[in-house]
Chain A
Amino acid sequence: MSLYAILQVIWWLLLGVLLMGLAVMVGMDMGVGAILRYVGRSDLERRIALNIIGPHWDGNQVWFILGGGAIFAAFPLIYATAFSGFYVVMLLLLWTMIMRPLGFEYRSQLASPAWRNVWDWVFFVSGAVPMIVFGAAFGNLFHGVPFHFSWDMTSYYTGSFLGLLNPFAIAAGVLSFALSAMMGALTVMNGAEAAMFERARRLAQLAAVVAIALFAICGPWVHALDGYRLIGGPGPGVPQTPLQQSVAVAHGAWLSNFAAHPLLWLLPVAGFAGMAGALLAARAARSHLGWWLGALAWIGVIGTAGAALFPFMLPSSTDPSMSLTLWNSSSSRATLLWMVGFAAFFVPLVLWYTSWAFWVMRGKVSAEQITRGDEHAY
């Protein structure tokens, strides 16, 4: 394998890590937002829930921003084609996501119950919609996305918004939402006590059961779909455009990587183990353990999807041979190499100071802390 091919694989893996980071960290905050109205019955309880993630949501959200930046830098054609193709979906995502920072900063500035009630609904929408959209976008990859290129790499998207709402995509969207609700509930358990803890505990178990069921259904469902197989082209580590390869569409082909490399089955196993473990941990009121098992569930689910699609990243249903793979959509060798250097230094640094920030703010958030107002002030 050439250095360029190795760099392409490294960036494919790094993108996976970023997506997992996004799912775990942003998913947890969005989960808290989505279940806010359920776990918090009074204004004070809702403020407790918000202040559990209050010191961290800002830093966590950067996983999302960095995810966008990293796709742009490492796989510019994916960034360009997917984001413009999924235009209405991206707008839904953006418009709901940009309300969230305002929710945190503005909700508790005014005492009016009507004002706060509006923001509580904003938290619900800006938590649920993006997570469903993320999952549904992933689900659509397994159907292929209706786009093609002209000779100069201008991309044309020929599908409709409603076409993205097919049953498999909706199932994937609900799976993603269920996992984030589960993580949100476990996060509330980590930081709250008494009645809130109990409500979150019930919800975490319910969400885990839903997630297990959906993930289990998705397995045979994917097998029944038409999968893509790369049968010819310039191959790894060769500068190319997406106009130079041939792709076959075959029944069940999405599972061919698992057939070829049985060790990959560990990924869905990790997914199930994480969800089942989180369920049991929530039942046993051990939320910190449950949170880590929930993170494992995300790693398993995203890893499973990535392994099934490999080497495809954005399959085209209009012309399967124009599908984007990591080989034909990555940046140049020079860019990937420089970016690996930056990632090798800064990703561990970010993980280190993020852990420190969580450690500094560890512990439960009490009602007394909020009414005293010297910290935990959302």
Chain B
Amino acid sequence: MMVNGTVVALSRIQFAATALYHFLFVPLTLGLSFLLAAMETVFVTTGKPIYKDMARFWGKLLMINFALGVATGLTMEFQFGTNWSFYSGFVGDIFGAPLAIEGLMAFFMESTFIGLMVFGWERLSKGQHLAVTWLVAFGSNLSALWILVANSFMQNPRGAAFDPLTMRMQLTSFPQLIFNPDAQSKFVHTSVAGYVTAAIFVAGVSAYYMLRKRHVELAKRSFRMAALFGVLATIAVITLGDALGFVDARVQPTKLAAMEGLWKSEAAPMPFNLIAFPSQAQRRNVADVRVPYLLSLLVTHSLTGTVPGADALERQAVSRIEDGIPAVQALHVLARNPTDAAALAEFDAHRKDLGYGFLLERYAPDLNDASPAQLERAARDIIPPVAAVFWSFRVMVALGLLMLAYFVIAVLYTLRNRIQRKTWLLKTAVWMIPVPFIANEAGWLVAELGRQPWTVFDVLPTWMSASTHSVAYMAFSLIGFVVLYSVFIAVEMYLMVRAIRLGPAEPGDAGGPGSQVRPSLSPRPLPAAPYGGRLEG
């Protein structure tokens, strides 16, 4: 069990890079599929063709995004095995199930019906097509649910126990796995963040058309739907984010300490670090700006509640590591003889701290002569990189509040039908487009960097989870991904911007400024097609 530290670091960089990249596309799909279904529902119930044009136009942009989401999702499905093989063998009995169910229950549904959604306009009745569009939306959101059930096992392992007979974690309760409280708040928080992303995207692109006085009817209606959807979704994201923080305070106190830059435990009511510059080496914030009382209120919803700081958590870790040493030692015996009664009893007495024993093995491969200094070092590891988590968290929250303010203003003007005259707001809307993407990435960083040093919280340390590759292999794959993904994003952005510039193909639009772009590229008259942009050539 010695994986080269450089290999672990490169494996982490590769996983983070490919996951963050994948997560650029997924939230937009989650939200846009629901917005499409809503637009089509309005079309079917009111019969107004403009809503069909809307569904088709936004559907076209959805597909450009969806392609890259699917493509990069392939990497994620296999990367646990290729790069985290010890992790996969150790918790695959539990972690694999939600991934397989995701494919079976959700992704099959989404992918099969998205083909019909795009190609089936002429072949399905209105009602059938609407049902298909809703199935795509439900499928993509169900996918997110199962992926987050799997992720929540890493954050808050429930329904599993280590079995010395098979030398791995095994499922003890499926209901506990899927009804993990972390999974519930995280699913809603994450999928609703996807709705916010789509709302900002649709509002921003619609604002672009209104500013240029193109496709104004379509843009106005799209903007209004997006703003209403967005304001509700943003409120939900913030509420559920708060609930998630409340869960984290109990199940992942180290993550919370990092999020809040909390090095020292303090008495209630605890102040909140609005701004801080944490130093991991000095175990303190080099500078900070604090708001009295606020932290207790935020994370315990009371003035008398406290949460432990890094100092108390490290002290606790020391005793858990000491308790974990006999568990790991018993495991060595059981590996040779799985029925050794004394070792089994010893293991059972200390099993809850097995993971902490593993933490120490990193610095003391032979636990028999672990020094107090090595123990201290292992205990320090349990605090995630504070500055990165602290700032990712603040970026996410600040952008969330910014989006809420923006949507509230947007809703006020769009409901009073004055949005077209508010040029400053329309310009802001265009500039808002990157904001939710940054917030999503920051959220991923809070959740996953904040989980360190574990791949499975309190159970399996990251340092022993990676595959035993050579540095050369890892360099090769990392460079390959960087090159390939850079080309992909360039192509995607180009096509997306181009499709937006071309705009929707509206029948009544023939003489409008929007159509001036088209004839130069396409000599043919343009039908209202979901793939209007594909018709050239």
A66 within 8 A of B: yes
**B residues within 8 A CB of A376?**
119
Binary contact track B356-367/A, C-beta < 8 Å → 1, others 0: 000000000000
Contact of A94 among B67, B78, B101 (CB under 8 A): B78
State the CA gap A84–B82 with chains docked (Å). Answer: 4
**B residues within 8 A CB of A61?**
70, 111
A350 within 8 A of B: yes
Find out whether the CB atom of A240 lies under 8 angstroms from the CB atom of B1. Answer: no
- A87-B467, A357-B115, A375-B122 as given contacts; A98 in contact with B96, CB under 8 Å: no
Find out whether the CB atom of B77 lies under 8 angstroms from the CB atom of A65. Answer: yes
Instruction: Give the contacts of A69-101 with B (CB-CB under 8 A).
Output: 69-74, 76-77, 79-84, 87-88, 90-91, 94-95, 97-101
B72 within 8 A of A: yes
Contact of A105 among B63, B109, B480 (CB under 8 A): B63
**A residues within 8 A CB of B533?**
109
Instruction: Give the contacts of B319-350 with A (CB-CB under 8 A).
Output: 331-332, 335-336, 338
Instruction: Give chain B's interface residue range (CB within 8 Å of chain A).
Output: 35 or more
Minimum CB–CB distance from A191 to chain B (whole Å) comes to 12
**B residues within 8 A CB of A338?**
97, 171, 174
Find out whether the CB atom of B78 lies under 8 angstroms from the CB atom of A354. Answer: no
B477 within 8 A of A: yes
Find out whether the CB atom of A109 lies under 8 angstroms from the CB atom of B534. Answer: yes
**A residues within 8 A CB of B338?**
241, 244
B286 within 8 A of A: no
- A54-B119, A76-B89 as given contacts; A84 in contact with B469, CB under 8 Å: yes
State the CA gap A354–B93 with chains docked (Å). Answer: 29
Find out whether the CB atom of A80 lies under 8 angstroms from the CB atom of B89. Answer: yes
Contact of B530 among A331, A371, A377 (CB under 8 A): A377
Find out whether the CB atom of A353 lies under 8 angstroms from the CB atom of B495. Answer: no
Instruction: Give the contacts of A322-346 with B (CB-CB under 8 A).
Output: 331-332, 334-335, 338-339, 342-343, 346
Closest chain B residue, CB of each to CB of A68: B77
Find out whether the CB atom of A102 lies under 8 angstroms from the CB atom of B71. Answer: yes
Find out whether the CB atom of B120 lies under 8 angstroms from the CB atom of A82. Answer: no
**B residues within 8 A CB of A375?**
119-123
A366 within 8 A of B: no
**A residues within 8 A CB of B532?**
373
Find out whether the CB atom of B96 lies under 8 angstroms from the CB atom of A76. Answer: yes
**A residues within 8 A CB of B112?**
56, 58-59, 62, 350, 353-354, 357
Find out whether the CB atom of B537 lies under 8 angstroms from the CB atom of A154. Answer: no
Find out whether the CB atom of B123 lies under 8 angstroms from the CB atom of A374. Answer: no
**B residues within 8 A CB of A70?**
100, 103
B373 within 8 A of A: no
Interface stretch of the complex, out of A145-153, A169-177, A219-227, A266-274 = A145-153
State the CA gap A378–B118 with chains docked (Å). Answer: 10
Find out whether the CB atom of A66 lies under 8 angstroms from the CB atom of B527. Answer: no
Find out whether the CB atom of A90 lies under 8 angstroms from the CB atom of B163. Answer: no
Minimum CB–CB distance from A130 to chain B (whole Å) comes to 11
**B residues within 8 A CB of A373?**
527, 529, 531-532, 534-535
* A residues in contact (CB < 8 Å) with B: 43, 54-59, 61-62, 64-66, 68-74, 76-77, 79-84, 87-88, 90-91, 94-95, 97-102, 104-106, 108-111, 116, 150-157, 239-241, 243-244, 331-332, 334-335, 338-339, 342-343, 346-347, 350, 353-354, 357, 360-361, 371-378
10 inter-chain pairs at a CB distance below 8 angstroms, sorted by A residue, are A55-B116, A61-B70, A71-B96, A77-B89, A87-B477, A102-B488, A109-B534, A156-B468, A342-B101, A361-B116
* B residues in contact (CB < 8 Å) with A: 1, 3, 63-64, 66-68, 70-75, 77-78, 80-83, 85-97, 99-105, 107-109, 111-116, 118-124, 163, 165-168, 170-172, 174, 331-332, 335-336, 338, 464, 467-469, 473, 476-477, 480, 484, 488, 491-492, 495, 498-499, 521-522, 524, 527, 529-537
Across the A-B interface, give the 9 residue pairs with the lowest CB-CB distance, nearest first: A76-B92, A83-B81, A111-B537, A73-B96, A59-B112, A72-B96, A377-B531, A105-B67, A66-B103
